[in-house]
Amino acid sequence: MLKKFRHTEGLLARYARLVCDTVVPYQERAIRDEIEGVVPSYAIENFKNAAILNKTGVKPAGGDHKGCVFQDSDVAKWIEAAAYSLSVKPDAELEKRLDEVCELIGEAQEADGYLDTHFTLNRPKEKFTELVGGHELYCSGHMIEAAVALYEITGKKKLLDTVCKNADMLYRVFVTEGREGYPGHPEIELALLRLWRVTNEDRYMELAKHFIDIRGIDTDFFNKEYRRLGINIIYDNHYSQCHAPVRQQSDAVGHAVRAAYLYTAMADLAAITDDKELEDACFRLFESIEKRRMYITGGIGSSYHGEAFTADYDLPSDTAYTETCASIALIFFASKLLKLRREGRIADVMERALYNTVLAGIELDGKKFFYVNPLEVLPGISGNIPTHRHALPQRPGWYGCACCPPNTARLIGSVANYAWDEQDGILYSNLFASGELTLSNVTLEVETDYPFGDTVKYKVKKGSTKLAIHIPAFTLKNYSVSAHGELKSGYYYLEVNEGDEVTVKVEMIPRLYRSNTRVASNSGKAAVMVGPVVYCAEEKDNGDVLGFSFRSSAELKLNKETPEQIGGFYSEASDLGAVYTVTAEGQQTVMDNASDLYFTDEYRKEEKTLKLIPYFMWGNRGLNQMRVWMPVEL
């Protein structure tokens, strides 16, 4: 259900504006190959060539599909992000260009509803023969999501018609005709459930359920595909979460984005069909992430190998993979879990992923992006040596595999859908986000500087509602709500009426966090958080940070500073306004002989005050050390 939401001030509003003003236009230029000096995308070009082929029966010269097999999805994700940006800020020119792109996509669709420019242009005889890696169903899923978002926000039906025709064809092939198999990369399942919601066509839900139900039943399916294709490898089913039927899965495994997209659809389907077995599986998988396989930043997927989950408590900082898309997918998953069980800890995970890994995925200027989000950067090592090659210390302008930038744009553009939620007559505030929400029964305005302020005001401008406000776990021991209500599982339930003003106060103080001792890489270390925001130390503010240790008893001081006051940031960063920085007392190891590799007493400790900035601001001032987890006195 779409919320009518108007961003006002604050951090999320700033990012929503950045998405409208910079990210969406920048990414449009990227998919149109108009940005100099970055990897070309060919994404729009592929659609143009497929349209010509459809129209003329002849592939234009040089008209082979270029880029990743899933390049179409970049266009879809851009459309979806652009749709959300229209909900944030109307833009008639953008709407016109969107109409043209939707027209083009319709022209690139084959007569039977098939839609995938890679196969249309390059491998027309091989459709659905390589579900393991062909990504046709993945691209269909993203196009469905784009169409649904565009329809919900603008009422435009052109793309919705295209994707319905595509989904109808998929239903015919995989259900009616009984073609074997399920997608290597889950995505279509969650998309079909979105499509079912706007169209009320049950076959879309049925197709989603079909793909979910058969997943991992025939564990030899992808190997059979490979054998048919003459490829001699043994597929690791864990990579695609098809090592076991989904209802039997317990540990989050494999490619983290695939996993969380699948779990999102599973949770949504469990709610739709009231499937307790599926619900229990979803919560086992969520706990495996929340309790054993998630970074403090809400990053998931510890390893470059397979962009994947690894093992319980394997959460290295410097070689972390923690793909931006994976944290976005974790937010999707959390939002569906909340429909099943309204537990604050689920919203806590959503908030953790959003304010840290997702926001860190974008340069403050909105033009550069991280795919990988390490928690420690070591110049000369990070992005450089084979074990750390993926952990780039600075954001590039675009990627050959550009899944993350448009994914970030669509998440931030639609952040109101995660901040707010309605269920069984109750309006849920999952995240604190300033802005005005208009629903049929109520209009609410929220004013807050959160996460760089401790006060959140809910003003009821019109109507009345049952309201449940998520009180984040970090403040559960110390918070206040100015109206009477009841706390249950991390949500504060109350009734509000026109004219009411409810003030929530949370405890925004810097805290030292420790890790479970089983996280070997964090032994003897601590990290600072203020509310949901993880902090890091950069060399730019501190000189060498590798020799620093927190004093556990030391004061951690909160400061409110603008990027200009912190120093060294782009001028574009100025619209962040003031953020919290933290100063922490501690000690710096000074070696008597800086060239010694190992030594006993030949060092001393000097008092040092470390300056920490929000993790999402890291890497905006050139190459330098960055650290989240640092040694701490016992």
Q: Which of 572, 589, 609, 623 binds its own copies (CB under 8 A)?
A: 589
Distances (CA, A) of 240 to 19, 178, 236, 451: 31, 21, 8, 36
Of 489 and 552, nearer to its own copies (C-beta) is: 552
Contact 369, 405 (CB under 8 A): yes
**Active-site position among 20, 403, 404, 536:** 403
599 binds its own copies, rule: CB under 8 A: yes
CA gap 522, 320 in Å, rounded: 13
**Nearest distance in Å: CB 605, its own copies:** 6
H-assigned helices in 155-298: 158-171, 188-199, 202-214, 221-228, 256-273, 276-292
Q: Which residue has the tokens 């003030």?
A: 503
Q: Is 314 in the site for its own copies (CB under 8 A)?
A: yes
Among 276, 591, 592, 606, binds its own copies (CB under 8 A): 591
Buried b (16+ CB within 10 A) or exposed e, 511-547: ebbebeeebebbeebbbbbbbbbbbbbbbbbbeebeb
Q: Kindly tell me which residue out of 162, 240, 430, 549 binds its own copies, with binding defined by CB under 8 A.
A: 549
Q: Please, which residue, 160 or 294, has the CB nearer to its own copies?
A: 294
DSSP assignment of 306-364: GGB--STT---STT----HHHHHHHHHHHHHHHHH---HHHHHHHHHIIIIIIHHTB-T
Instruction: Compute the distance between CA of residue 267 and CA of residue 262 in angstroms, rounded to an integer.
Output: 9
Using CA atoms, how far apart are residues 273 and 284, in angstroms rounded to an integer?
Answer: 19
Q: Which of 129, 154, 219, 310 contacts its own copies by CB under 8 A?
A: 310
Q: Does residue 292 touch its own copies according to CB under 8 A?
A: yes
Q: Which position among 37, 230, 486, 598 is part of the footprint of its own copies (CB under 8 A)?
A: 598
Q: Is residue 296 part of the contact set for its own copies (CB under 8 A)?
A: yes
Q: Give 85 or 240: the residue with its C-beta nearer to its own copies.
A: 240
d(CA 102, CA 209): 28
The 8-class DSSP code of residue 274 comes to T
CB of 108 to its own copies, least distance (A): 34
Tokens for 204?
A: 């879309």
Q: By CB under 8 A, tell whether 283 contacts its own copies.
A: no
Among residues 248, 273, 517, 565, the one that binds its own copies under rule CB under 8 A: 517
Q: Other CB atoms closer than 10 Å to residue 248's CB: what's the count?
A: 11
Is 20 an active-site residue?
A: no
Q: Which is nearer to its own copies, 302 or 407 (CB)?
A: 302
571, 605, 607, 622: which one binds its own copies (CB under 8 A):
605
- Please pick, from the candidates 516, 565, 571, 574, the single residue that binds its own copies as defined by CB under 8 A: 516
- Note whether 478 binds its own copies by CB under 8 A: no
d(CA 192, CA 177): 19
Least spacing, CB of residue 319 vs its own copies, in Å: 7
Does residue 234 bind its own copies (CB under 8 A)? no
604 contributes a contact to its own copies by CB under 8 A: no
Q: How far is the CB of 613 from its own copies (least distance, A)?
A: 19
C-alpha distance across the termini of the chain, in Å: 49
Does residue number 634 form part of the binding site for its own copies (CB under 8 A)?
Answer: yes
DSSP 8-state code for residue 59: P
Out of 45, 130, 152, 307, the active site residue is 307
Nearer to its own copies, 41 or 521 (CB): 521
Contact set for its own copies, span 322-381 (CB under 8 A): 376, 378, 380-381
Question: Could you tell me the smallest distance in angstroms from the CB atom of residue 608 to its own copies?
Answer: 12
Return the number of the residue (493 or 603) whose C-beta is nearest its own copies.
603
Size of the site for its own copies (CB under 8 A): 62
Measured from the CB atom, the residue of 130 and 251 that comes closer to its own copies is 251
Q: Is the Cα dihedral 374, 379, 384, 385 positive or negative? A: negative
SS3 readout for 68-109:
CCCCHHHHHHHHHHHHHHHHHCCCHHHHHHHHHHHHHHHHHC
496 phi and psi angles, rounded to 5 deg: -130, 145
514 binds its own copies (CB under 8 A): yes
**Which residue's CB is nearer to its own copies, number 174 or number 616?**
616
- Considering only 65, 156, 342, 525, the residue that binds its own copies (CB under 8 A) is 525
Residue 133 in contact with its own copies, rule: CB under 8 A: no
CA distance 172 to 150: 25
Q: Give the nearer residue to its own copies in terms of CB position, either 27 or 303.
A: 303
| Integer CA distances (angstroms), 523 to 15, 300, 340, 399, 634, in order | 35, 20, 36, 34, 11
Q: Is 201 a catalytic residue?
A: no
Kind plus residue range of the DSSP H or E element containing 579: strand 579-591
With binding defined as CB under 8 A, does residue 606 bind its own copies? no
User: Exposed/middle/buried for 200, CB within 10 Å: 0-12, 13-18, 19+?
Assistant: exposed
CA 430, CA 350: separation in Å to the nearest integer? 9
Mask for 381-420, x = binds its own copies (CB under 8 A) = x--xxxx---------------------------------
Q: Is 312 in the site for its own copies (CB under 8 A)?
A: yes
Q: In this structure, what token pair is assigned to residue 317? A: 């900082």
Give residues 558-587 in contact with its own copies (rule: CB under 8 A).
587
- For residues 234 and 23, give the distance between their C-alpha atoms in angstroms, rounded to a whole number: 40
CB of 184 to its own copies, least distance (A): 19
Determine contact, residues 114/134, Cβ cutoff 8 Å: no
Site for its own copies (CB under 8 A): which residue of 519, 537, 573, 613? 519
Minimum gap (Å) between residue 546 Cβ and its own copies: 5
Residue ranges in contact with its own copies by CB under 8 A: 290-292, 294, 296, 303-306, 310-314, 316, 318-319, 376, 378, 380-381, 384-387, 511-521, 523-525, 527, 544, 546-547, 549, 551, 587, 589, 591, 594-600, 603, 605, 630-634
Catalytic residues: 307, 403
